[in-house]
Structure 1
């Protein structure tokens, strides 16, 4: 399902990146990691990333700001999935209006992560 797909996981929390990398790697994905939005933008300057899992709140540059820059300067179509522990009513719409394609609250279940990543790649 995810074989040979490259996924950028952007999260300032080491454990969150490890969990996502382990799950996605078990299904054949190549996972690249960044600790903030600024690092993500640098990595996205190179082609080949199929989907981005973007934490919302990070030091240096958060997910919303990074997504805005990605949409303006790198890609209008790259799937970006918001990852956040802030599952407040109305946030989903805010992330979608901000240029993200989907939303997944943390902590997430393996099935939900795989489902949202696969469907984002298939819509690409």
Structure 2
């Protein structure tokens, strides 16, 4: 709901899904420029969904920035996100400013994907 409110006021298109399996499906259907991945999702968590996306990318030679979103704000949680193949990390609670800074960091002002933060 927070993401819908914040992103709904921008020019970005987005889709929100309810679990990791749906995130993997959406990745295949939508060819996103960036993924905000909740770490704690039912059916398939964000770490597992990220690993599955990275395996698909190995086959295609592509790379979509994935930012892990988690309620856990410890340094070890950030490291777990990066080890799982995520490019960056965003702890909850999410502020509009923090979210938009991450989006702009990874998409850039001109929409070009930026480099890995890990």
**CA shift for structure 1 position 72:** 0.4
Asked whether the 8 Å contact 1:56–1:82 carries over to 2, the reply is yes
**CA shift for structure 1 position 94:** 1.6
- Larger strand proportion of the pair: 1
Backbone CA RMSD of aligned residues: 1.5
User: What is the CA–CA distance in structure 1 between the aligned matches of 2:57 and 2:21, rounded to whole Å?
Assistant: 13
Asked whether the 8 Å contact 1:44–1:74 carries over to 2, the reply is no
**CA shift for structure 1 position 110:** 0.7
Residue ranges of structure 1 left out of the alignment (5+ in a row): 1-17
Q: Which residue of 1 aligns with 2:111?
A: none
The one of 73, 94, 100 equivalent to 2:86 is 100
Query: What's the secondary structure of 1:45's corresponding residue?
Result: helix
Q: What is the correspondence of 1:19-98 to structure 2 with a 5 Å cutoff?
A: 19-74=2-57, 76-98=62-84
Q: Which residue of 2 aligns with 1:115?
A: 101
TM-score for the superposition, normalised by structure 1: 0.79
Q: Which runs of 4+ in 1 moved over 6 A?
A: none
**CA shift for structure 1 position 47:** 4.0
User: What is the CA–CA distance in structure 2 between the aligned matches of 1:63 and 1:48, rounded to whole Å?
Assistant: 18
